[in-house]
Amino acid sequence: MACCAANNGIYAVVSRRAACCDASNGIYAVVSRRAAYGAASNGIYAVVARTVACCAASNGIYAVVSRHVACGGASNGIYAVVARHAACGGASNGSYAVASRPVACGGASNGIYAVVSRRAAYGGASNGIYAVVSRHVACGGASNGIYAVVARPVACGGASNGIYAVVSRRVACCAANNGSYAVASRPVACCAASNGIYAVASRPVAYGGASNGIYAVVARHEACGGASNGIYAVVARHVAYGGASNGIYAVVARHAACGGASNGIYAVASRPVACGGASNGIYAVVSRRAACCAANNGIYAVASRPVACCAANNGIYAVASRPVACCDASNGIYAVVARAVACCAANNGIYAVASRPVACCDASNGIYAVVSRRAAYGAANNGIYAVVSCPVACCADDAWRCPLFCPVTV
């Protein structure tokens, strides 16, 4: 057994094959649970039974096989569940999607709190998410929050660009600007102060504001938007097209909602898609289940190859055929199922491979482990070097006096 040192040490036990994490970016893995636990930032917590990746303070990932969940950090996180197909957005115009009820959620600080027994995701000070399986509820914050209930799957919009949807009524509530109001019995798009849309199935209508007016034709049932945040809808295609920012593009044949310059949504029934804007956007497709990475901390996932793309910092790149987590500038993760790889970043990274689960050591306090050798390799300070045949603690400061094998067993 090898004990953890002051920083980023390793604690491994043959019977449990556990790696103990330290103050930052540590790893905790157990064969029986195959769990990797992250430290204060960008850690990973995975369990085979649950296949879980735990998010750190920012831009983390929380995934569970039974729930397929990706948990976001302080801002612009992602929360997805296969049973619910939920993706939670960032500070504004986020996305919270559920297969039975695609919902868009936003909030000032996008924290995630998930509980398996209740399947609840709860947000931070404002615009958080609170979901419970018995009620399937997502509660929004001060602006752009989400409140959904299975009996009335509802998404409540905030101060701007909010969404209010109910399965029984299929309603999208307009916010202060460029909102949408739709009902199954009479699919309606409600106009905001400018460039809004008001459409009814019985009278597919597009109504313009003071500027950026609307052009509607019954033969084509079109509603054309103005210079910014306009709407373009067609009954044959059931299309609503958004303007420069926070627009909407929906098509019944494609069931698409297209976002604007930032934090938009693009969804299609044949391939339910949520398209991200300049930063922290979401791009999801049912056939591909894709979440597109934005400028920072985005996610790119595809069903055929569930992918999470690395953003500028601490991103994730995962693929089902080869679930991959890509390393970023610091504390990144690169994992592949075929190779089960976690790549080391600038500091305290991890490099693991299924055929030879490896944790790569970085400049300081790194980890190097191999299943065939079950080794944890120590860096310059407080490192650990352990081998199943001989759990060893490696000498620091380039001494390299540790034996490769020893009589100690665990």
Would you say residue 242 lies in a domain? no
Question: What's the pLDDT at 79?
Answer: 34
pLDDT number for residue 305: 29
5: confidence class by pLDDT, cuts 50, 70, 90: very low
Q: pTM, whole model, 2 decimals?
A: 0.13
Q: Which of 113, 145, 172 is at the close of a domain?
A: 113
d(CA 182, CA 165): 8
CA 247 – CA 227 distance, rounded (Å): 11
Among 56, 89, 113, residue at a domain's last position = 113
- Whether 279 is in a domain gets the answer no
**Mean pLDDT score, 117-127:** 28
Nearest CA to 125 out of 112, 108, 113, 138 is that of 108
Residues 6+ positions from 111 with CB-CB distance below 8 Å: 72, 74, 77, 122, 123, 124, 128
Count how many domains the chain has.
2
Of 70, 45, 43, whose CA–CA distance to 299 is shortest?
70
**What per-residue confidence (pLDDT) applies to 19?**
36
Give per-residue pLDDT as tens, 280-336. 233 332 222 233 333 223 333 332 223 334 332 223 333 322 233 343 322 333 332
In a domain, 56, yes or no: yes
How high is the pLDDT of residue 2? Answer: 32
Residue 125 lies in a domain: no
pLDDT at position 61: 31
- Classified as helix, coil or strand, 333 is strand
Segment 133-155 shows an average pLDDT of: 31
Q: What is the pLDDT of residues 6-45, one digit of tens each?
A: 223 333 332 223 333 332 223 333 222 223 333 222 233 3
At 384, the pLDDT band (50, 70, 90 cuts) reads very low
Mean pLDDT of 361-388: 31
Q: How many other CB atoms sit within 10 Å of the CB of residue 408?
A: 14
pLDDT band at 137 (very low <50, low <70, confident <90, very high): very low
Nearest C-alpha neighbor of 77 from the set 253, 377, 298:
298
Average pLDDT, the chain: 31
pLDDT at residue number 85: 31
- The answer to the question of residue 88 being in a domain is yes
280 is a domain residue: no
Mean pLDDT of the region 66-79: 30
Look up tokens 């989400």; give the residue.
146
pLDDT digit string, tens, across residues 162-191:
333 322 222 333 332 233 333 323 333 333
What is the extent of the structural domain holding 325?
317-409
Largest Cα span, the chain: 84
> Of 113, 134, 150, which residue is a domain's last?
113
98 inside domain: yes
Whether 16 is covered by a domain: the verdict is yes
